[in-house]
Amino acid sequence: MNMYLLIPLIEVIFCLGLLIVLMISGKRHIARRPFTAFLFFMTLWGFFIFMMRASPDMTNALLWEKFVFWAILSASLFFYRFTVSLTGARPNRYFEYPLYIAYFVVLALIPTGLVVNGMQMMWYGKAPLIGPLFPLYVLCAYAPIVRSAMLLIKHYRHTRIIDDRIRSQYIIVGIAAMFIGATTDYLPVLGMSMYPLGIIGNILFCLVATISMLRHNLLEMKVVIRKLATYSLTSVLIFGIFGSLIYLLSHFFQDFMSPVSLTITIVAVFIAASIFQPVLSRLQHTVDRWFFRERFDHIQNLRRFNQETRGDLDLEQLSSSLVTTVANGMQSQGVYLLLPSSTGSYTTYMYSGQKSQGRLQFSANSPLVAAMKQQKHILDNTDLDIVPSLISLTEYDRQTLERNSIELLVPLKNNGHLAGMLLLSGRASDEPYSKEERRLLEMVSPDVAVSIDNANLYENMKQKHSELQKAMDGVIHAISLVVETRDPYTAGHQRRVAELARAIAKKMGLSEWQQMGIHVAGLLHDVGKVAVPSEILSKPGKITETEFSIIKNHCQVGYEILQRIDFPWPVTKAVLQHHERLDGSGYPQGLAGEDIVLEARILGVADVVEAMSSHRPYRPAIGLDSALEEISRASGILYDIEVVDACLSLLKKNQPKFERIMAAAAANTDYALEAVTN
């Protein structure tokens, strides 16, 4: 069987297959019946073409050709009926009544010979001889198709339902293929040696239309075009390289089909398979840049958003980056990020875009919040009247969405937990968001939800830590004040030692965490003096050996008081050892050298400097210079060399700085020291 007979037979088998598939698995759509009738007449059209071409004589061929004309006219009419049902267009009686009248009139004219009056042999096979009313027939056959295309274009422009838009695009492409194929049927009559492609065009027409009816998640036409452009460029590149290779092989090898040339060709194919995959990816990148233009970088940023923000625990910075990236990538008029509050309601945390109409807020018991917790996919504003849980949406919530032109609602879910909601207003171009854009948002949303949850957890931990820190500071200061109230002459001593010790630690380059621990130890280093009788603490004269032994016991008492508190620093050891000395002459344990913790060594120096610089009941203040001379003289013997050097560098010939440190302690201001020592 030659191609002349094979093509219409393929069309019959193909249309029958589509018809069977439609009957078995087609959607229960209102347009299903007229579309089934359309496919039925297209099947008859192919069958009559086959019978005409297989007829042994022209008389029988003419009879079958008249049936062909009838099938074409009927298929055109039912396709129009299908389009009206699919788009939901209101029938136009000024078009439909004349159309039906013309249909029956032309049907009656086909047997008369006024439309087709004979057959002739062309270089490709049999062809009809047209009659005087053939233009009327063409008008009646094309008018429903043209009207269908107009309805589809109008529907595409006005509908906000993305599936309907894509379906309309596919059918319009099918109509274009049919028109191009039908046009080629007339070219041989005009003297052009081109095989008529009407059957092939109709096969494509039926295929695309059926796919659009059967498939729900169709690739968008823009995506198809981008992919085709990329594969076309890659094909041109591959064919160019292989064409050159084959030409060179045929030029240098007389016997091109020799084992050597075949081996080279096979090796080249494998090399191309490994080389052109990255080339394909690179070309797709270039084609996408042509299509998206200024949006390309923003879309790429959105695709890489989770990689670039991974580990970012600053909720405000993360949220700002998210809404800005989405607004730029999607060309949205507004993007709202809603996060849950302590009451369970979802409120705008961050916004990006044009001027907002108001702060969005949905209560914890709102049907919208309930629906977003259940949904796995993006919701469209058209879903508000479709999704059962959203039908009961309150009027206030509906008005909130409408007032801010919300078009997409993206749930940000992490393991079933709704971490937040991303609400997008309409696009600046007024075009609905494409499926590709929605898929991109769905792709990034789970990781965004994880990042938001992590940032929220970190914020909560910081808040709890801050509250615990305040509570601990309160307890520490309260304990410190207990000592000070029993010993008015040494009031403020612990705070002054704490500030000076922290200043020395900072000068030594210790971390802020270590500085904080030393400050806490300084505030508590004399807490054991609560066990020393007040008459001994405030005794104006020289104390006895017995009284001094009681005072020396304050280190051990302080340790025992504080050891049940689980400090994150070696506070208890510092309190116990702050009167130990490098040479082992200190108390209470007589420790020496590195056995004394660094915090205690710093406290020991700060304690001596503050004590000698301040008044005591039993003596007047000796002065800062004498205190610095004392620690300098005993450096490396009683006191740590590094600690002494830091203290001297900080205070030597700098009485104002020492006074400011002491003033900061008196004001009980934690941050004053930073301003002083900078």
- Lowest-confidence region among 292-296, 458-462, 513-517, 610-614: 292-296
| pLDDT score recorded for residue 265 | 63
Q: How far apart are CA 379 and CA 162, in angstroms?
A: 12
Q: 379 and 387 in contact (C-beta within 8 Å)?
A: yes
Residue 231 has pLDDT above 70, yes or no: no
Closest by Cα among 1, 6, 12 to 203: 12
**Residue ranges of the chain that CATH labels 1.10.3210.10:** 487-677
Task: Using alpha carbons only, give the angle 158, 162, 168 rounded to the nearest 5 degrees.
Answer: 65
Q: How far apart are CA 72 and CA 78, in angstroms?
A: 10
Mean pLDDT of 392-396: 83
| pLDDT score recorded for residue 590 | 92
* CATH number of the 487-677 domain: 1.10.3210.10
| Bridge partners (DSSP) listed for residue 122 | 125
Q: How far apart are CA 317 and CA 88, in angstroms?
A: 47
Q: What are phi and psi of 352, to 5 degrees?
A: -145, 140
CATH class of 333-458: alpha beta
Closest by Cα among 73, 136, 81, 132 to 107: 73
Q: 603 and 611 in contact (C-beta within 8 Å)?
A: no
**Residue ranges of the chain that CATH labels 1.20.1070.10:** 3-218
| pLDDT score recorded for residue 620 | 57
Residue 211 has pLDDT above 80, yes or no: no
Residue 14 has pLDDT above 60, yes or no: yes
**Residue ranges of the chain that CATH labels 3.30.450.40:** 333-458
**Average pLDDT over all residues of the chain:** 79
Between residues 78 and 464, which one has the greater pLDDT? 78
Residue 425 has pLDDT above 70, yes or no: yes
CA-CA-CA-CA dihedral for 246, 249, 252, 253, to nearest 10: -120
pLDDT in tens, 543-576: 788 888 888 888 999 899 888 888 888 999 999 9
Q: What are phi and psi of 333, to 5 degrees?
A: -70, -25
pLDDT in tens, 252-283: 665 555 566 656 666 666 666 566 666 667 76
Question: What is the band of 163 on the pLDDT scale with cuts at 50, 70, 90?
Answer: confident
| pLDDT score recorded for residue 216 | 60
| pLDDT score recorded for residue 469 | 72
Tell me the one-letter amino acid at 472.
M
Mean pLDDT of 471-493: 69
pLDDT in tens, 98-151: 999 999 999 999 999 899 888 888 777 888 888 899 889 989 988 999 999 999
- Lowest-confidence region among 125-139, 179-193, 309-323: 179-193
| pLDDT score recorded for residue 318 | 84
Question: What is the band of 192 on the pLDDT scale with cuts at 50, 70, 90?
Answer: low
Residue 1 has pLDDT above 60, yes or no: no
Tokens of 300: 């790429």
Residue 599 has pLDDT above 90, yes or no: yes
Between residues 170 and 571, which one has the greater pLDDT? 571
For 151-196, strand residue ranges (E) read none
**For 353, which DSSP code?**
E
| pLDDT score recorded for residue 470 | 76
Question: What is the band of 357 on the pLDDT scale with cuts at 50, 70, 90?
Answer: low
Residue 375 has pLDDT above 90, yes or no: no
| Bridge partners (DSSP) listed for residue 362 | 346
Between residues 77 and 472, which one has the greater pLDDT? 77
Question: What is the band of 676 on the pLDDT scale with cuts at 50, 70, 90?
Answer: very low
Mean pLDDT of 595-624: 81
Residue 670 has pLDDT above 50, yes or no: no
Residues in Cβ contact with 268 at an 8 Å cutoff, skipping those fewer than 6 apart: 242, 245
pLDDT in tens, 32-47: 788 888 889 988 988 9
Q: Would you say domain 3-218 falls under CATH 3.30.70.20? A: no
In sign, the C-alpha dihedral spanning 270, 275, 279, 280 is: positive
Closest by Cα among 66, 38, 50, 55 to 13: 50
Question: What is the band of 671 on the pLDDT scale with cuts at 50, 70, 90?
Answer: very low
Instruction: Give me the DSSP letters along 473-518.
Output: HHHHHHHHHHHHHH-GGGTTHHHHHHHHHHHHHHHTT--HHHHHHH
Mean pLDDT of 430-447: 81
Specify whether the backbone of 358 is left (phi greater than 0), alpha (psi in -120 to 50) or beta.
Answer: left
What percent of the chain has a predicted confidence (pLDDT) above 70? 77
Q: 88 and 145 in contact (C-beta within 8 Å)?
A: no
Give, in order, the Cα–Cα distances in Å from 586 to each of 182, 429, 430, 590, 596: 109, 81, 82, 5, 11
- Looking up tokens 């099947």, which residue turns up? 43
The reply to whether the predicted model has a pTM over 0.85 is: no
- Lowest-confidence region among 216-220, 302-306, 536-540: 216-220
Q: 155 and 175 in contact (C-beta within 8 Å)?
A: no
| pLDDT score recorded for residue 667 | 63
Mean pLDDT of 152-158: 85
Residue 678 has pLDDT above 50, yes or no: no
Q: How far apart are CA 637 and CA 125, in angstroms?
A: 118
